[in-house]
Chain A
Amino acid sequence: MTTTPTPPQAFETSEPGEVTGGAPPGRQDKRGRFQRLDDRAAAVRKRAANPWASIIALVIALLWTIPTFGLFVTSFRPAGEIRRNGWWEFFRDPQVTLENYGSVLFEGDAPLAEYIINSLVVTLPAVLIPISIALLAAYAFAWIDFKGRNILFVAIFALQIVPIQVTMIPLLTQYNQWGIAGTFWPVWLSHSIFALPLAIFLLHNFMKDIPPSLVEAARVDGAGHVKIFFQVLLPLLIPAVAAFGIFQFLWVWNDLLVSLVFGSQSQVAPLTVRLASLAGDRGENWHLLSSGAFVAMVVPMIVFLALQRYFVRGLLAGSVKG
């Protein structure tokens, strides 16, 4: 399902392995496609006829974009201009510079370029590890019969509601005892653990949607659980993995709390931590703050826009089914 599950798509969403989210995938009716398109055209005409609806929608859209746009314009204005007047003056007297980006990325004692590496190094394992562990666990809960399966699954589901704040002080104490505090390891470990309840729950839902006959057939052929997992289920679960992968990627890349508590040393701190302290002690240096904010934003924006449809599918599966 994409952001806009338009009705004609209902005829195409039934490809094998396409696991749809919780909401019904469009309406299945028996009328022809052309009849539908006519209906849609009529609806569009009707909608366009109501100016108030369009005006309200336009106002909301503007309110949601102008703040970002303003900071974006600011990030390309010379520092002196930024201090002199507001970003809207840019259109009266356009002066473009890349200097802000240059200085926030490479100059000073804590250039952002180093923190980009940290963000990357923190994020990739913190996405791959929980997905793999959760896939295996979800498989066990969906397709292996064992005693206490349901109770254990409900317990893991319930752990979703535990705020991560509750775990932080004891975990930090533990990491200190092990002597790994201040390295990448506690950050990876914590992010992976915190992601598990939602990941297991989501992937389990997707796995349950796969026809049991597929698994049965493989079992009759003598395949063990490991073989079934890798050869039958995993290929069908790629969309689900992508959906959760984006979730987790955005979550880790944009996280502040976990990094602040477990990895705020400049050696491992990600972009968000540096940006937050930049906002704290240089609140007035808008040429650095604006460009810095966009440096931190660009990667998640690209990932988000490119893989939007998987993200939406994950959202729908996660919240409507839950």
Chain B
Amino acid sequence: MPKLLSQHLHLVESIFECIGLGVVVIDELGAIIFCNPAASTIVGISAEKVPLEKWTEHYGFYLPDGITLCPDTESSIVAAISGVSADFEVLIQNHLGSVRSKWCTIHVKPLKSAENEITGALLLIQDTSEQKKLSDEAARSNTALQQFATVAAHDLQEPLRSISGFTDMLAQFQGERLDEKSTRCMNKIKDGVTRMQTLINDLLTYSRIQTKPQILQPTNCNEIVASCIKSLNASITKSGAQINVDFLPTITADASQLSQLFQNLIGNALKFCAADKPPVVWIRARREATLWLFSIEDNGIGIAPEFAERVFRIFQRLHSSTAYAGTGIGLAICQTIVDRHGGRIWVESEPGIGSTFYFTIPECGEETT
């Protein structure tokens, strides 16, 4: 053998020795002629001389239910030998070798000679157990979180309703007999209840944003922003705010989440305004490679640089609730919405001058969970 060819062969062999992907080669009659260590590790038993029709049973290839043997193995290999590629998912569980069950994706491809004749098939076996476990866990914890939030929201509200309702009743019964001090205390109780209620509702919104499935569709941002501005009308009129909106694109997004995102960001721009001048807000969008970059700029009080990242954390507040009302959930909701659209959100700000919140939404609007 020429030296160069032997070096090449050695190199190829060591690659197959090292990689984590299971590689199995079979000849045109269905007999295994090559099998790398990863394949034996994943399957749990090493390759043996077993006729193709006995493979499923021998190696323990099951359907996702874990009970029915997977019929695809034999048919896919037969198909590959006649020139057609196939992919399928199996649950491998055998009691001969390893008893641990494993989720695998198997790709079967025809192998051809230099003369383009089919010489057999290549099986690529990928262990997807870890991925599967992680995605299952994520799905479970999402469901649990949603159930918890719904139950908590209802059951936490109930005692609050009692506190609030009986305080009202007490006021009704006592009428004019209530002195100034008692009235003050009762108002404090009612305020506390209202704050708690806002907190629970915001928390519920936050958990819904995280768990509710997204409906991604072409969404016209001009319409979304226009309706947000309309619903913020009261505070715009009150503060004498001026809101400038550039022409915005139509993007692939969940319309209700996008609306919440703009609503929170524009709402913040109005809320955290300077004491001495009416708020001026600019809403812009610009195309950057494969994504859209949106910005909401204001001339408000700004955020000190050390808090620029912290403001997106849940319950993070920079001001007392008497100075600026709120629960510290708004920007955490924004962060979650942008994350779920596969984008990024951040703020650039100069205290006393203003803040600009930026967020990106990828063109294709692919969902990330």
A and B associate in one complex: no
